[in-house]
A and B are shown apart, each in its own frame.
Chain A
């Protein structure tokens, strides 16, 4: 093992510092700085990967704090899971930075954008390298901050600002859970280190509670039900940001956290069950909403929630390797799909898929890569998504969870259906409005091509955690492959007939109107939250504000005035006359002596 892993996050951090301080002078060179730093991280990550064959574990760079008599070190963990994340983040990050040079061209805060992305990459790389909860939490908040800054990057738009706040507040609810969970763990078992999780013992049900609370943090970050509401709104940010942060990397941090704490969850079946159930609900719910959504980026967002739900479900049925494998493949094809969506939006200037259509003829490269991404997400053989989804199915089946097995099949049906709908509405058929699309510049199409190659082939690598007990795909599981393929392909055909051929009688449509309304209102969850939480909160805030304004501020002002007037009186003693000074000094001495002699 080579102890160079801690240099990986430093190079984007340096790029952030340079861009934030000298950004205005650097102008477009700021992109070059960020890309160079990102490539530096990528090279280092590859080196760390090569070092992995010499064994792995954690090492520390020195002591940081002492808490309750226990030393907390700057600890770095290097194992296959971390290295997989390092490679994903630095590789996709590099591609997205390159893509951004085209996508953000001419933006007034160009250098600021690259500074934030660099900061994000640094925090994300630090997050996966931390070997304890405290450092993880710091980086965790760091990525959250960057997500907030980048969602509201175009802060002239009120919707972007609102979305940023929503994302921040919603994930913060989860973060609080994570903080409480890790503190419970610390106070009962006395450790912040991940490597101790396999052996910790503590009183029940406190430990289960701790595990579930840690999972709440993951729910917030990975946009799982019921904390999923921020992710669709987060699409207000630049599309490249959505691809990097809200599809490939940051939202996967929740899945990473559960995978990192996997021994803890395995030891507490109720917590593991919770993970699976929440994952299943998110997967199904988000996939069904995606079927009726008309905003191309929001379709992607719901698809992301659904796929993250599948990863959680995989972990929840005991499939550590299946879950992380899907995390890896998803990172590539979902980043690809987002970038394609960005390229489409760049070309046509709208996000409404009902206004698009027939773009294949003009956007050749974008469309081909888009189709590759779709096939990968839909899980068609032999694209990346097929392999990882198959592994989830096999795990669910072998671990005797027929219901979750059914959920995964149903989700993959819905997934293939809404992706088919997207493809047929956007790329094929006739143009439904007066658009003049044009293909994007090379800086945007090259990352698309690279990512689409990965979306084709990354599935063959197999799960990075094979040692952790990958199911041997015996003959008896071939029917699962077959079943999932049949389901996906039939869903795409159904979409083809419904959306391209208009093969849906009006009578049937009207019968599903109620369901359609329910879905297009996203199960009324936002409205529910608004009524239950937001409105009362706002009322409370107004009351607190008036209390603060009149009572607290009044007191503070009173104290401040008092201090000022005392200051004025005391200042009079400082006359500038040496005689007075000497008098004060001598009197002071005398007073002290009198006081002491009386005691």
Chain B
């Protein structure tokens, strides 16, 4: 029973997921389902603090209740709450059958929460697989839409390959160490004097699976197609939720134990960080579709966070967590603005500032925050990452990061220029909804607040 208490938020959330599924079948009043799902999230969020106890581990070590998992569980609940609000306003989702949609979304949240609170590779694998399957379904949620289905299939193919590779790596690790608990594996690695090639391959395979979830280069290929084809709220969620999970798993995997793996693997992380940032930003430059551009931008941001991982200090980890936290607001702000403006092509944004100054302002603030301009939160996030790199004397990484920020500014500003300076006028109607206005205002406030006063949030982040 004590173990079960740890799972209360997940259980409640899953209960609400089931209710919304059944409600969708039985009742004709479908508008209530979103509110139901939202209520479930709030309940889970309220239950979360009671499960936080740094010393607990439940189900014979399968789940751990440290501050690290509490942070990520809260982050995922927060992101899901914002996404549900976005989904309420999305026109395309309104047309579809909603009961399943919220069921999938809540189940995805539950799987993510389980994944981030585990230290056992088996548990991690099962949760990751659940996350993957649910993501495929959500990406392909518009059954009648060709692009959505295509995106779903592609995402599935890549997910299958990645999780397959990861499972193979896990089985190799089990073969070498006879154990799946990360603490014991790390202790065993510390004792072993020679690193065998099999061990190396096993680690690379496991990391590859996680890197896919973070959409790091070269595991990024499916992400842009998936983001573009998926319903916009789902794209927003994929860029935030699974990415947060990916980083949580990477940190767990590389930082557990007294002699963490990161010491040997920092080199690989540095290389991937540089390549990911550069490739993501470079390709983003030429995009004409906003969602696709945001997909590449999210790849670049993942590269940026990887810098802090490669640094491997406690400040580095704090920097990643703060970055992810901030990223939730700025990216959901950007995707929310896409839904609000009801425009997917960059050229459609021409003259938006005259048509609807509010929408243009919200988009601008989110994009500037993503670009990392002060006093917005994105600047603070990048600042902490670069500070962590400089503190540990990773100057090359810091320089590449700064250069990439300049590069990124270009494609973000392109949209802002379109909205404010273009003389043309696009007549497509906007999707003005009060829920969306609320979400956008919330993200705006968070963007400003975390940028001006980051101290509180950084202090609140506790380390694993």
Contact = CB atoms under 8 A, between A and B. Distances in A.
Contact of A588 (B157, B218, B283): B218
A584 to B, nearest CB: 5
A593 B172 CA distance: 15
A510 B112 CA distance: 93
B295 to A, nearest CB: 10
Interface string A570-599: 110010101001101111110011001101
Nearest to A596: B200
A571 B286 contact: yes
Contacts of B407: 563
B161 A593 contact: no
Contacts of A599: 267
A64 interface: yes
Nearest to B201: A593
A66 B315 CA distance: 15
Contacts of A585: 158, 161-162, 218-219, 221
A131 B219 CA distance: 52
Interface string B145-164: 00000000110011001100
B204 A592 contact: yes
A589 B169 CA distance: 12
Place the interface of chain A in its size category.
Answer: 20 to 34
Contacts of B187: none
A560 interface: yes
Interface string A61-82: 0011110000000000000000
Contacts of B200: 593, 596-597
A588 B217 contact: yes
A560 B218 contact: no
B150 to A, nearest CB: 9
Contacts of A65: 455
B218 A584 contact: yes
Given A578-B157, A582-B161, A585-B221, A596 B204 contact: yes
Contacts of A567: 282-286
A581 B283 contact: no
A504 interface: no
Contacts of B158: 581-582, 585
Interface residues of B, number: 32
A589 B285 contact: no
Interface in B219-233: 219, 221-222, 224-225
A568 interface: yes
Interface string A43-68: 00000000000000000000111100
B99 interface: no
Contact of A578 (B154, B282, B284): B154
A588 B217 CA distance: 8
Given A64-B455, A597-B197, A581 B222 contact: yes
Contacts of A563: 282, 285, 407, 410
A66 B454 CA distance: 11
Nearest to B222: A581
Nearest to B406: A559
B283 A574 contact: yes
Nearest to B154: A578
Contacts of B410: 560, 563
In this complex, the member of A64, A560, A578, A582 whose beta carbon has the largest number of chain B beta carbons within 10 angstroms is A578
Contacts of B161: 582, 585-586
A110 B221 CA distance: 55
A587 B154 CA distance: 18
B461 interface: no
B210 to A, nearest CB: 13
Given A564-B285, A571-B283, A582-B158, 17 more contacts: A63-B455, A65-B455, A560-B410, A563-B410, A564-B286, A568-B286, A578-B153, A578-B154, A581-B222, A582-B157, A582-B221, A585-B219, A586-B161, A592-B204, A593-B204, A596-B204, A596-B268
Interface of A: 63-66, 560, 563-564, 566-568, 570-571, 574, 576, 578, 581-582, 584-589, 592-593, 596-597, 599
